[in-house]
Amino acid sequence: MKVRSIRGFHDILPEDIGRWHHIEELAKNLFELYGYSEIRIPALEFTEVFARGLGTSSDIVEKEMYTFTDRDGSSLTLRPEGTAGVVRAYIENSMYTKTPQSKLYYTGMMFRHERPQKGRYRGFYQIGAELFGADAPESDAELIAMNHNFFGSIGLSGSVTLELSSLGDGECKPAYKSMLTDYFNGHKDRLCEDCQRRLGTNPLRILDCKQKTCIEISKDAPKMLDNLCESCTEHFGRVKDSLDSIGVPYEINPKIVRGLDYYTRTVFEFTTDQLGAQNAVAAGGRYDGLVKELGGPETPAVGFAMGIERIVLLHQQVVPEGFGRRVDIYIAYLGDEARNAAFSLAHELRSAGARVGADYGGKSLKSQMKRADKSGARYTIIIGEDELSRGVVKLRDMEKSSEDEIALDLKSQP
């Protein structure tokens, strides 16, 4: 029997990796432009980092975590997202004592036990950014603009929409929660089983339910945006004004609740209508309470995470070609002596920085040319015995299908 991978986990193959690198590099370069540095955090944490960080009533903690008991009896969890681990690292390394603000980004694999489908996996990659120590609404706007510019830089600004809302803070959120509880209590019998339970734990989560009747009932529910306190209204106003001032377009969507409990004030999502049901490609917001919740000092923070697989899927639709080239020059040869020359030339060209393909299996020229074609090489150098003795090689331009003879004295090579 052949071995196989775990359901919901997938390989990223060499033919696709060029696109991944392209996307990841653009993100990293852009984030560094804004002053962010990479942080690498473990894939495994004590379960409480996520349970306390994300909130026990969040979907992730309730039903999506890969949790197991370590040999010493402690409960460990494979990270389902990056923020809680970054916050843990921020606190553990006392980063707040080093600089007034910390700007961190991360990338890596996340693990969630959900139902696999297109754009939804159990093991998937995220790139995310977190800004600690800034409470000004302009900081929210700057972070959102950075995310917006990322989509612009990979040619996807026309494919995504920025949706924006505010969830209020410690002052107005609790009052809103009890308004919601009252409202949903009036419709309790028609709510799904999950939502009946959420009514007692976190009524906000009902607004995010995908069941038809729950969506219907939610339509007339009171909205957080109509119930913000004065300071949250002002904060949200300045976020919008800042985005307006630099021309970042957005739509207000008062129904964004976000899956995690830690969000306060600004929340946003970048969505697309080109990926079917999996419409969120990036999401984030402000989480002023989380650092304290995990044992650090009171620290305002704002961040986001993007799903790389979904961005790759979208990017494939919009920019289908141009990421397969792995080789610049292919070297084909005829005969034993030419093979030795090919071997040395490949070495020399690579030392000079060219990506060179060649194989020394003694195949026919025809089959070598096929391989050259498949490799995506722009040029093929063909070394024949006759050319070798004359100190020349053939240079074939694979795009133009034209051939030239060029002088290249390979006999002097060892």
Question: Under the rule (CB under 6 A), what is the footprint of ligand ATP?
Answer: 81, 112, 114, 119-121, 124, 126, 259, 278, 280-283, 305, 307, 309-310
Q: Which is nearer to ligand ATP, 128 or 376 (CB)?
A: 128
CB of 280 to ligand ATP, least distance (A): 4
Cβ contact 121:9 at 8 Å: yes
Least distance (Å) between residue 399 CB and ligand ATP: 36
Q: How many Cα atoms occupy the beta-carbon half-sphere of 121 within 13 Å? A: 20
The region that residue 247 occupies, defined by phi over 0 for left and psi between -120 and 50 for alpha, beta otherwise, is left
**Residue 72 Cβ vs ligand ATP, minimum distance, rounded to whole Å:** 30
Cα 117–Cα 308–Cα 21 angle in degrees, nearest 5: 130
**For residue 182, is it left (φ>0), alpha (ψ between -120 and 50) or beta?**
alpha
| Nearest alpha carbon to residue 105 among 84, 134, 131 | 131
Task: Decide whether 94 or 117 has the Cβ nearer to ligand ATP.
Answer: 117
Q: Which is nearer to ligand ATP, 91 or 280 (CB)?
A: 280
- Minimum distance from residue 176 beta carbon to ligand ATP (Å): 20
Q: Which is nearer to ligand ATP, 96 or 125 (CB)?
A: 125
The SS3 assignment for 318 reads helix
Helix-helix angle 137-153:230-245, to 10 degrees = 40
- The DSSP code sequence of 75-144 is EEEE-SSSHHHHHHHHHHTTGGGT-S-EEEEEEEEEE-----BTTB-SEEEEEEEEEES---HHHHHHHH
CB nearer ligand ATP, residue 30 or residue 392 = 30
Least distance (Å) between residue 311 CB and ligand ATP: 7
- Cβ 382 to ligand ATP, closest distance in Å? 45
Residue 81: count of CB within 10 angstroms of its CB: 21
Provide, rounded to whole angstroms, the least separation between the CB of residue 284 and ligand ATP: 7
Closer CB to ligand ATP, residue 126 or residue 218?
126
Nearer to ligand ATP, 217 or 281 (CB): 281
DSSP 3-state assignment of 405? strand
Which residue's Cβ has the minimum distance to ligand ATP? 307
